[in-house]
Amino acid sequence: MFGFGKRKLKLAAPVAGRIIDITEVADDVFSSKMMGDGFAVEPSAEADTIVAPCDGEVTLVAKTLHAVALRADGVELLIHVGLDTVELAGEGFHALVKAGDQVRRGTPLLQFDRAALEAQGKRLTTMLVLTNEAEQVKSVEKHLDDPAAVLTVHMRS
């Protein structure tokens, strides 16, 4: 009645840069929301570290080191660095965490070598996607102008 006990999760940008809606990503898998809703960041020139957007548990670090998955309050998140970066088989990436690690908002997760990735012709657009949205998420509020709370996820009871 008064909103007490309603569960919500605030997600920050995982890297410094210009925040865009997921529908603006130059990859149909993400822009069509095939993997889920979310947002993306065009990393700033000095950015080279992906950080946890909230407190949670690392559930996956891709073998190719270009993506990391987290679980926070039952919501599953995928942070995917770059477009077509899976093709690099880990070149230009360094994992700072492993599956099972508990992280706090702001904990460094991955580092990337901008020069190496750009030399391979890869765009650094970094997506944050809610991958189990249908099961856990009631609604999503987007605040694309607020890097500290880009998404507010309202969870099902």
The answer to whether 143 is a known catalytic residue is no
In the DSSP assignment, the letter for residue 116 is H
Catalytic residue among 80, 94, 143, 154: 80
State residue 138 phi and psi, 5-degree precision: -85, -45
> What HEC string does 36-105 produce?
CCEEEEEECCCCCEEECCCCEEEEEECCCCCEEEEEECCEEEEEEECCCHHHHCCCCEEECCCCCCEECC
3-state secondary structure of 127: strand
CA distances for 90 relative to 52, 82, 85, 106, 122, angstroms? 20, 12, 8, 23, 13
| Residues taking part in catalysis | 80
